[in-house]
Amino acid sequence: MKLLTVLMLIALPLSCFAGSGCTLLEEALNDTLSDDVSIERYLRNYHEFLLDEDDERAVTKLKQCFLQQDSETVDNVHVMLQTVYQSIWCSDS
């Protein structure tokens, strides 16, 4: 499950939106990783992007996965995201 989650998070910023000014995506990633954001609040914040109950279940599982991780794992994901944002694939040039 950890690998799947990390791969999903890697795929998002590789399009270079997160590191180049897509505030919504950056907020979604931060909310996903934050243990201060409950599942209920997470679902409310992103309800407009959930098309059906299957989407809601998938997002609930994703958020629950990060709520169960230790702080070292979450910190490592933050480091990975910053590395991607600062990579040559997301440069401004």
Please report the pLDDT score of residue 22 as a whole number.
Answer: 72
DSSP letter for each residue of 4-15: HHHHHHHHTGGG
> pLDDT category, 2, cuts 50, 70, 90?
low
pLDDT per position as a tens digit, 47-84: 999 999 999 999 999 999 999 999 999 999 989 888 88
Q: Who's near 86: CB < 8 A, 6+ residues apart?
A: 19
Q: Who's near 61: CB < 8 A, 6+ residues apart?
A: none
Measured between alpha carbons, how far is 33 from 73 in angstroms, rounded to an integer? 10
pTM of the model: 0.69
Cβ atoms within 10 Å, residue 38: 12
> pLDDT category, 89, cuts 50, 70, 90?
confident
